[in-house]
Amino acid sequence: MNFRGKTAIVTGAGSAKGIGRDTALMLAEFGANVVVADMDLAGAKERVKEIEALGAKGLAVQTDVTDEASVESLTRKAISEFGTIDVLVNNAGITQPIKTIDMTTADFNRIINVNLTGTFIVTKAVMKEMMNAKYGRIVNMSSVSAKRGGGVFGGSHYSAAKAGVLGFSKALAREVMEYNITVNSVCPGAVDTEIRKGISDEKERAIVEGVPMKRLATTREIAYSICFLATEEAGYITGEDIDINGGSHMD
């Protein structure tokens, strides 16, 4: 894979252990300029240090994906620094392990806002640049929970948000095909990330037991599929969702 001369924005890549981090680093390994967008500016700056250690260029931008002004600032800074935005990875997300009966409206709205509305806000802002350039690759983070109705980690609001990402991605893919922009989603299953903090050992064993491969995915395994969808060579794949779940769900 070759991303030399390309610029990628990866949201939610400030975490020290996550899919966003490894996606940002892998894009850098393959030559991309990488904009790390995260609420955690210190974490984003740490990712940029790792990106630069790989010989690539990076930019850390503190970003709230639910805030349009914050996202507009992100796109302006990316264009000012690198001139183009060729790849967008909407990775920023949060979850909450809770039953619907115990869920408040505030809980529901918070999960929807970050995972689904945030994906819309960032995508719309970046689309303008991609449409002008007649080129773009957008990869959105969904989840196996969107397809099987949870059962991994997170409540019904998380499943709803991630299912919404799939519908949004497919509809958008139809709208932007004429601009040489592809829109795809990845649907990871159980992954070894920080989002699982607080889960009991018993629950984790049960999750792993439910995976036919009997292990969690690594973050690099997810990142590789994201990077593949972001390549020029994947230009005939759009509106697709890629399952990466060790066999726990098969379409």
SS3 134: coil
Residue written as tokens 């991630």?
A: 162
Instruction: Tell me the C-alpha distance between 56 and 48, whole Å.
Output: 9
Contact between 126 and 176 (Cβ < 8 Å): no
Instruction: Tell me the C-alpha distance between 163 and 144, whole Å.
Output: 9
> Is 158 marked active-site?
yes
Instruction: Tell me the C-alpha distance between 35 and 6, whole Å.
Output: 11
Q: Out of 158, 179, 224, 236, which one is annotated catalytic?
A: 158
Residue 116 makes CB contacts below 8 A (sequence gap 6+) with: 161, 162, 164, 165, 168
Radius of gyration of the chain (CA): 17
Residues in a beta bridge with 33: 7
Instruction: Tell me the C-alpha distance between 75 and 204, whole Å.
Output: 38
Residues in a beta bridge with 37: 11, 61
List the structure tokens of 126: 């970046």
Q: Which of 112, 114, 134, 138 is nearest to 125 (CA)?
A: 138
Which residue numbers are catalytic?
A: 158
